[in-house]
Amino acid sequence: MKRIYSITAVLFFACIIIAGEVRGQGCMEAKSEEGVSVAGFFQVQPQYLEGTPDEFTFAFKRVRFALLGNIPYDVSYYAAFEFSPFVLGGKTPCVLDGYVTFSRFAPYGKITMGQFKSPFSLELNTSCAGLHTINRSKVVKKLASPGRDLGMIIGGKHDKLFSYNLGLMNGTGMGKKDNNKAKDIVGRIIVSPLELLSVGGSFRHGKVDADEEDEKIRAGGEVELKYSDFLVQGEYIYGKNVIGKDTTEQNGFYVQGMYMTQWKVQPVIKYESWDPNMNSEDNKEQVITFGANWFINDWTRLQLNYLHCTEELETDNNQILMQIQVKF
């Protein structure tokens, strides 16, 4: 473990020399350079879930508010709250994000401390209000967790060519103290050799639970290609848990493509694969999502998704989802 912390320190000082401004870990941006801004969004969702007791139902996917702003000089803050009773097991309202950023070293980098999204995965770090499909991919939900965590991030970028985030985190998730002496080391690097192409990688190393001998390893790669009104994204994530003498390996990926038409309607198609145990047969899952996003105006978007789900052991679990989103 001491060796890992030493490597982390070396990476930090190497990156801080070439890095610029850090990517924010919040879903919303400040509306002014000074003072307090209020932002948020609502997501209302009618849904049909085949094979469930409540096949057709209505829900508030998210009801989210944020307070954010800057304090002269070099300090900014962000706090986001979730109010929907349909998420997080109904344990709402709650604080999703709450952090302070110190930017004295800009443009070389920024330091952020508090609770925020883990710097891992392209789709995880896409705002909930900016997802191209209504749901995140299963591999991201399973292997990029905890999605939010407590800790510290050092990050930055060099123009549009290079960006990084390197974090030291509890590894136990939002609103929870650490349950062991170790910390999770999490990081994400993105390189854009061409204006239309970005490639990146993520990693995470930490403990599964309070047992110091157990460990979890996560590694992922991502690519994004944007040309005119076309956008293609793909991501692969590998996970390994070592608990005592038992080792479990998991992996999965998704690929999605979309095109923005002149009518502000964006057709989307997405293929995803998830393998919860690479050492077992007959447990892979695939989902094909056919969707469309209608950008009614700058603040309102309507999404429609049909999810065709297939497994090695057939079950009836296809889904039809609709979501109306309003931002303010």
User: What residue ranges of the chain have pLDDT lower than 70?
Assistant: 1-34, 107, 210-212, 312-316
Give the model confidence (pLDDT) of 214-227 as tens digits. 899 999 999 999 99
The stretches of the chain forming alpha helices (DSSP H) are 2-18, 138-143
Find out whether 51 and 58 touch, Cβ atoms under 8 Å: no
| In the chain, domain spans | 37-62+118-327
Q: What is the pLDDT of residue 207?
A: 86
Contacts for 62 with CB less than 8 Å, ≥ 6 apart: 41, 42, 43, 82, 84, 87, 128
Q: Is domain 37-62+118-327 in CATH 2.40.160.10, yes or no? A: yes
| DSSP H/E element including 58 | strand 56-71
Q: What is the pLDDT of residue 313?
A: 58
* C-alpha–C-alpha distance, residues 241 and 126, integer Å: 26
